[in-house]
C-alpha cells in the first residue's frame, strides 16, 4: 500500500513539475529585445528613422481592462476618418508593426501601433496567445472610437499571434472593425502547441503534455487551450478578411490559414505567398503583398 502511494505521489509530482515547466515556457516566453527588433527592421529597409520622426504622432497610454497600461503610438498624417490598428506577433513589439503601418499610411490611413501585454512598453505579467490580448485589442479599439467619433472607418492588421488575436476579438467579442488582415495566424493554439511539441520535444507525446498544459494554464492564468481557437469562432465574423500566409512557413503551417479561409463566411480573400518563412510574406514578396492588399481593399472594403 505504501509503495503504491509513493508511486502515485511520484507520478503526481512529475506531472505537476511538467505542468509548471510547460506553462512557464508559455506564459513567460522570452521576448526579443526592442533594440534588436529596431536594428533588424532598419537593416531590412522596413524602418527609416528620419521618416518616422517626421510623422505627426503622439504616444498614448490606454488602460487595459485588467489593470495595466498599454503603450501605443497614434500616427496621423492625414485629416481622415480612416484608421488602422496593427497587432504584432509574440516576442515582438510595436517596432515590428512599422512596416505594416507604412503600407496603410501609403494608402491614406492613419494608424495605431501598440505593444501587447508583457511586450515592449506595455504592462501585464503573462503572454496568453490571444486570450487576454483580444480584450486588450478591444480596449485599443474602444479608445480610438471614443477619441475619433462614431464615423470612424477602421481596419485591423495582425501578424502571427496578432492575427489570431484579431480573429478572436472579432469572433468572440465584437466584429468591431470594417475589415481585417490576418497574416499567418494559427487556427487553434492547442493544435499549434501540439505541432511545436512534436517538432521540439521529440521524447514526449503531445497527447500527454497538452492536457497537463491546459490544466495548469487554467490553474495559473485562468484560461485553457480550448479558449484560444480562432477557427471555432471564425463563422461569427461578417466583415471582410484578407488571409495571408507563406507556403514555406514551417513554424505555423499554412494549412491553418487555409482552414480559416474555408470556414469564413461572407467576403474574404486568400493570399498564399510562394516564398518566405514565418511572418516573412511581406518581406519576401513586397510587390505582390501590396498588390493583393490593394485588390482586397478595392473589391471588399471601398465598395
In a domain, 152, yes or no: yes
Does residue 8 carry a pLDDT above 70?
no
- Report the pLDDT value the prediction gives residue 107, as an integer from 0 to 100: 98
Helices (H), the chain: 2-27, 34-43, 49-54, 98-105, 131-148, 161-168, 189-200, 206-221, 230-233, 255-263, 281-284, 286-296
Q: 50 has which bridge partners?
A: none
Spatial contact of 26 and 127, defined as CB atoms under 8 Å apart: yes
Q: How many domains are there within the chain?
A: 1
Number of H helices, E strands in the chain: 12, 8
Has residue 44 been placed in a domain?
A: yes
Q: Which of 201, 209, 303, 191 is nearest to 252 (CA)?
A: 191
For the stretch 144-201, pLDDT in tens is: 999 999 899 999 999 999 999 999 999 999 999 999 999 999 999 999 999 998 888 8
What mean pLDDT comes out for the span 276-286? 97
pLDDT digits (tens, 9 = 90+) for 36-88: 999 999 999 998 999 999 999 999 999 999 999 999 999 999 999 999 999 99
Q: How far apart are CA 120 and CA 43, in angstroms?
A: 20
User: Does 200 map to a domain?
Assistant: no
- What is the DSSP code (8-state) at residue 31? P
CATH of residue 95's domain is: 3.40.50.1820
Instruction: Note whether residue 214 is domain-resident.
Output: no
Task: Give residue-wise pLDDT tens across range 216-256.
Answer: 999 999 999 999 999 999 999 999 999 999 999 999 999 99
pLDDT score at 150: 81
Asked whether residue 207 carries a pLDDT value surpassing 90, the answer given is no
Q: What per-residue string of b and e applies to 144-166 under the rule 16 or more CB within 10 Å gives b?
A: beeebeeebbbbbbbbbbbbbbb
215 within domain boundaries: no
Look at residue 58 and tell me if it is in a domain. yes
Residue 3 resides in a domain: no
Predicted local distance difference test score (pLDDT) of residue 105: 98
Q: Say if residue 272's pLDDT is above 90.
A: yes
Q: What is the pLDDT of residue 221?
A: 98
Expressed as residue numbers, the domain containing 287 is 31-188+228-301
In a domain, residue 198? The reply is no
In terms of pLDDT, which residue wins out, 2 or 57? Answer: 57
Q: State the helix-helix crossing angle for 286-296 and 98-105, rounded to 10 degrees.
A: 50
Confidence (pLDDT) at 203: 72
Amino acid at each position: 500500500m505504501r509503495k503504491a502511494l509513493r508511486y502515485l505521489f511520484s507520478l503526481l509530482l512529475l506531472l505537476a513539475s511538467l505542468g509548471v515547466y510547460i506553462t512557464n515556457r508559455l506564459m513567460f516566453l522570452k521576448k526579443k529585445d526592442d533594440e534588436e527588433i529596431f536594428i533588424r527592421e532598419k537593416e531590412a529597409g522596413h524602418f527609416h528613422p528620419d521618416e518616422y520622426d517626421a510623422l505627426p504622432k503622439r504616444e498614448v497610454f490606454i488602460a487595459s481592462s485588467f489593470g495595466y497600461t498599454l503603450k501605443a503610438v497614434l500616427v496621423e498624417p492625414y485629416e481622415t476618418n480612416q484608421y488602422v490598428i496593427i497587432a504584432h506577433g509574440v516576442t515582438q513589439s510595436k517596432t515590428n508593426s512599422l512596416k505594416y503601418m507604412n503600407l496603410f499610411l501609403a494608402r491614406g490611413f492613419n494608424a495605431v501601433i501598440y505593444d501587447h501585454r508583457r511586450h515592449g512598453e506595455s504592462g501585464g505579467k503573462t503572454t496568453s496567445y490571444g486570450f487576454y490580448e483580444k480584450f486588450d485589442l478591444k480596449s485599443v479599439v474602444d479608445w480610438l472610437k471614443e477619441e475619433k467619433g462614431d464615423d470612424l472607418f477602421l481596419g485591423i492588421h495582425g501578424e502571427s499571434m496578432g492575427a489570431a488575436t484579431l480573429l478572436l476579438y472579432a469572433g468572440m467579442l465584437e466584429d468591431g472593425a470594417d475589415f481585417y488582415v490576418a497574416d499567418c495566424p494559427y487556427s487553434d493554439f492547442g493544435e499549434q502547441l501540439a505541432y511545436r511539441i512534436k517538432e521540439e520535444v521529440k521524447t514526449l507525446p503531445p497527447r500527454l503534455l497538452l492536457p497537463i498544459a491546459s490544466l495548469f494554464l487554467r490553474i495559473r492564468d485562468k484560461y485553457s487551450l480550448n479558449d484560444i481557437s480562432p477557427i471555432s469562432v471564425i463563422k461569427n465574423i461578417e466583415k471582410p478578411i484578407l488571409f495571408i500566409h507563406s507556403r514555406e512557413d514551417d513554424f505555423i503551417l499554412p494549412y491553418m490559414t487555409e482552414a480559416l479561409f474555408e470556414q469564413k463566411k461572407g467576403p474574404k480573400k486568400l493570399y498564399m505567398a510562394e516564398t518566405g518563412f514565418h511572418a516573412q510574406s511581406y518581406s519576401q514578396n513586397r510587390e505582390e503583398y501590396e498588390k493583393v492588399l490593394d485588390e482586397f481593399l478595392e473589391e471588399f472594403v471601398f465598395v
